[in-house]
Amino acid sequence: MSALLSVRNLSVEFSTYGQVNKVLHGVSLDVPERSQIALVGESGSGKSVTMKAIMGLLRQPPATISSGEIFYDGRDLLTLAPRERLKLRGTEMSMVFQDPMSSLNPVFTIADQMRTILKYADRRLGRARSRAARMQRVHEVLAQVRMRDPERVAKSYPIMLSGGMRQRVLIAMALLSEPRLLIADEPGTALDVTTQAQILKLLKDLVEERGLALLMITHNLGVVRETSSYVYVMNKGVVVEEGATAQIFDAPKDDYTKALIAAVPRLTGGTRFGSKVVAA
């Protein structure tokens, strides 16, 4: 069976002031239905550009997709009519953003913001829902992300919530229109490690409970280990290695992957830099 999301040989370049900068060189990856897949790589390796290309968020220009296909549920998103493509974004394909403070509007309540998202998603799908039904859905989804008092949270302004709660609101926003695929770009990186761990656990539980597919984008291999069963390692716009998460950790083949693993901090003292893992 073909994957729910399949990126094939994707190349992207940016033209700025007449200079062409190739940032993705033939990237291929698969996200099967109900799978938890990670895309890992250091800063600037092209993870967010990949995500934006998938979601149709790359501004062209300055970006150009010079080759490739992105299949979602068997249809190539790059040749799909703009109207059809728009129907998928924020509905079947949804995103969890990393920075709650810049993704939430400080002057509207959580309920206002969530109802607006739902309204536009419904409109795109040609679905009618009453105001009351929308509000009910907002409360329902806030409860799904384990908010103890969804009605109070709904009435709150972002500033009234903790960082962890704000990140959970962003997850709730992504779930509003019952997506099949969630793409999370560095979720929780703005949080302390304990709260981030709780957010990752929540995300994983939700994805499993609801049978969603997850593409987790991160620079952190610790996050990969917690959330994903299969991983693509990206370096300078190239997928340099892929495999089952356990296998990548136990027996990395690529030097870059080895270096990434060596750089994961350990609670039991230092990193593994300089150990045989790197030297091998």
Instruction: List phi, psi (to 5°) of 200.
Output: -65, -40
Quote the CA–CA distance of 105 and 248 in Å, as a whole number: 40
Q: Please, which residue, 154 or 191, has the CB nearer to ligand ATP?
A: 191
CB-CB contact of 188 with 216 (8 Å): no
Nearer to ligand ATP, 17 or 132 (CB): 17
**Partner from Mg ion, ligand ATP, none binding residue 134, C-beta < 5-8 Å depending on class:** none
- Cα separation, 116 vs 90, whole angstroms: 12
Name the amino acid, one letter, at 173.
M
- Name which of ligand ATP, Mg ion, none residue 120 binds, using a CB cut-off of 5 to 8 Å depending on partner kind: none
Closest residue by beta carbon to Mg ion: 48
C-alpha span between 214 and 233 (Å, rounded): 16
The nearer residue to Mg ion, 97 or 256, going by C-beta atoms, is 97
Closer residue to ligand ATP, CB minimum distance, 202 or 217: 217
Quote the least distance from Cβ 234 to Mg ion, whole Å: 11
User: What is the spatial distance between Cα 29 and Cα 68, in angstroms, rounded to a whole number?
Assistant: 12
Q: Give the binding site for ligand ATP (CB under 6 A).
A: 14, 16, 21, 23, 41, 43-49, 62, 219
Q: Which long-range contacts (CB under 8 A, 24 or more apart) does 20-23 make?
A: 22/66, 22/237, 23/49, 23/237
How far apart are CB 215 and ligand ATP at their closest, in Å? 13
Distance CA 215, CA 218 (A): 10
Contact pick of 35, 36, 45, 48 for Mg ion (by CB under 5 A) = 48
**18 to 47, contacts with Mg ion by CB under 5 A?**
47
Q: Which two tokens stand for residue 70?
A: 């992105």
Q: How far is the CB of 101 from ligand ATP (least distance, A)?
A: 17
Least spacing, CB of residue 93 vs ligand ATP, in Å: 18
- Chain residues that interact with Mg ion, rule: CB under 5 A: 47-48
